[in-house]
Structure 1
Amino acid sequence: MLQKINRITETLVEGLASLPNIEAIQKIPYRTYKNEASPLDCLKVDVFSQGSVPDAAARVQGLPHLEFLETSPGKNKDRFFLDGMAVHIEYKRVEDIEELLARLHTSPYRLTEDSTYGLFRLRHGIPVMKKTEWIEHQKKLLENLPEPFWQAARQNLKSRMEHQVADLGSALYNQDSFHFQTSLAHYLETISELLFVANEEFLCPPEQIRVSLEELKILPSGFEGLFDTLIRADVDQERKLSVARRLAELLLAF
């Protein structure tokens, strides 16, 4: 698996680096990259460009034959298959990254996105091509975020969590299973990110959240058992709502 990842990455870099104004290319780290027997079937890549993002036609011109190309309506994401592996590429403007990080270091310490996952990708992405040390400088800025940023992020996530608990209660009262399931999914992601932020870490890729939670230095007492109850298929909705409320109480005091 690792050899295949490296081979595909080299092919991508060779094709994408020829685009105009490309500053850096990063692959998003996954534990499974280190495991030759891993079933991983998706490679995620971030491409940083000066000025405007190259158009879709130019982006794939330098790449070999692609199986199934899909470009997002916003024209900054491409998805395709290369050598039998799904590849997801996001294109990001250098100027937007610099503006975002400048805001993170000044009051009111507010993100423009709903999640810190994008910051995880920037901070922990593995550079596979860089023209200058720009990407390394951005990583350094993320190493030293002010404490008020983390405090504001925690408060925002706690407020979101309380709303989601209320949504769970409403869904159960109305016997709306679809609403309950979607609310529970949002709630689980929110409390996960809250715990990462409480440990001054960014939200990791969805595929890694469960394992990464277990490795956090600080967790509220009893968290593991309550969390496991919420993700079990054999627990009824009434019990899950009770557990979600109990867990929210723990996290509000955390």
Structure 2
Amino acid sequence: MKYKTKLLVDRFVEVLSRWPGVECVSLNEAAQPDTLDSYFALILDVFYSGAIPKPEERCAFYGDDAVVFETANQGNKDRFLIGDIPVRIEYKATGKIDELIDIADTKRDLLWLIKDSGTYGYYRLSYGEILFARTDWIEKIRERLLNLDIPFWQTMRDANQSKMEHYLSDLGAALIQGDDFHYLISSAGFIKAACLTLFCINRRFEPSHRAYFKQIHGLSVLPESFLTQFETFLRNEGDLTMERKYSLAQLMARGIIAL
């Protein structure tokens, strides 16, 4: 973590940890790059089990240099700038988190509730840098996530693989119709669903979108030649025709389904 970032992080943790209702504060990986990186953002997840200040009170606590303040309609996500640094603080009730973990861990009949939202929330719970913890609540959450069994991953794989096949079909239809817009949308949907399926096969929670490319390369279980096909599919050069891209998508899908 860069020095400038650490100063801000320490400042906010000092404020947030004083609120009795705050259980845990974690730092999102988006704060790891240099502040000049276009992907940089200081994102804090604040887990609470009691009352927290109202948005207008929180704004005052953030400091006089917090400008362009806005909060989500539900009052659970604050955005503002400190100088040129974008800051986002997200407030999450521990009770809701416990319910999400129960769905993944013990209430399999309710897994359909999270199929569309995916596992990114679990990723943030598992890999955020813990800055403050009042109790061992977050450690227990992480232990449960670490020990999710095969039925969870198989269910999530099936859901994402079905989406991948659906987008592949749309991709072929758009090619036949010469529908450039639908082809573009289907291409994006296909490659995302393909990646999500592979994350499930490897029993890995999905990262943020900007981390897909790097983390796909680090997976231990991949179809033969997948990475070459994957990188070629992402190219925008003119020699990669729509027909060629569709053929690549078919190869990638077959390889994934065979795993």
What is the TM-score normalised by the length of structure 2? 0.88
Q: Which moved more, 1:110-119 or 1:220-229?
A: 110-119
SS of the residue aligned with 1:69?
A: strand
Partner-residue secondary structure (3-state), 1:145: coil
- Any idea what SS the aligned residue of 1:110 has? helix
Deviation at 1:53, TM superposition (A): 6.2
What corresponds to 1:196 in structure 2? 199
Mapping of 1:58-137 within 5 angstroms? 58-64=57-63, 65-106=65-106, 107-108=108-109, 110=111, 112-113=113-114, 114-137=117-140
**Is 244-253 or 13-22 further displaced after alignment?**
13-22
Match of 2:251 among 237, 246, 253: 246
C-alpha RMSD of matched pairs (Å): 2.2
> Which residue of 2 is the match for residue 168 of structure 1?
171
CA contact (8 A) 2:26 2:132 kept: yes
Checking the alignment, whether the CA contact within 8 Å between 1:51 and 1:94 is kept in structure 2 is no
Query: How far is 1:108 from its partner?
Result: 3.0
- Which whole-Å deviations, capped at 9, do the CAs of 1:92-130 have from their partners, x for residues lacking one? 110011111112112336163321111000011111111
Give the letter aligned to residue 2 of structure 1: K
Q: Partner amino acid for 1:58?
A: E
Q: Is the 8 A contact 1:19 1:58 kept in 2?
A: no
Cα distance change, pair 76–90 in 1 and its aligned pair in 2 (3 A): same
The within-5 A match list for 1:146-161 is: 146-161=149-164
> 1 CA distance for matches of 2:253 and 2:125?
30
SS of the residue aligned with 2:73? coil
CA distance in structure 2 between the partners assigned to 1:237 and 1:51 by the alignment: 54
Structure 1, residues 1-30: CA drift from partner, whole Å, max 9, x if none? 611221121122123333451111100235
CA deviation string 1:42-92 (max 9, x = no partner)? 122211111566532233221022232232234322222223211222211
The 1:38–1:191 alpha-carbon spacing in structure 2 relative to 1, beyond 3 Å, is farther
State the distance in 1 between where 2:251 and 2:204 align. 24
SS of the residue corresponding to residue 113 of structure 2 reads: coil
For the pair 1:50 / 2:49, whether they are aligned, the reply is yes
Report the number of matched residues: 252
Structure 1: which 5+ residue stretches go unaligned? none
Q: Which consecutive unaligned segments of at least 5 residues does structure 2 have?
A: none
Could you give the per-residue CA deviations for residues 211-236 of structure 1, whole angstroms, max 9, x where no partner exists? 11111111110101111121100122
Cα distance in 2, alignment partners of residues 186 and 93 from structure 1: 31
Q: 1:162 and 1:7, CA in 2 relative to 1: closer, same or farther beyond 3 A?
A: same
Equivalence for 1:138: 141
Query: Is the partner of 2:229 in helix, strand or coil?
Result: helix
SS at match of 2:250: helix
1:37 is displaced (CA, Å) by 8.8
Matched, 1:8 2:22: no
Name the CA distance, whole Å, in 1 between partners of 2:72 and 2:256: 36
Equivalent pair of 2:27/2:45 in contact (CA under 8 Å): yes
**Does 2:187 align with 1:184?**
yes
Task: Report the equivalent of 2:230.
Answer: 227
Distance in 2 of aligned mates of 1:74 and 1:237: 43
Change (3 A) 1:183 1:18: farther
TM-score by length of 1: 0.90
Q: Which moved more, 1:41-50 or 1:16-25?
A: 16-25
Assess if the C-alpha contact under 8 Å between 1:26 and 1:126 holds in 2. yes
Residues 71 and 169 of structure 1: CA distance in aligned 2, closer, same or farther (over 3 Å): farther
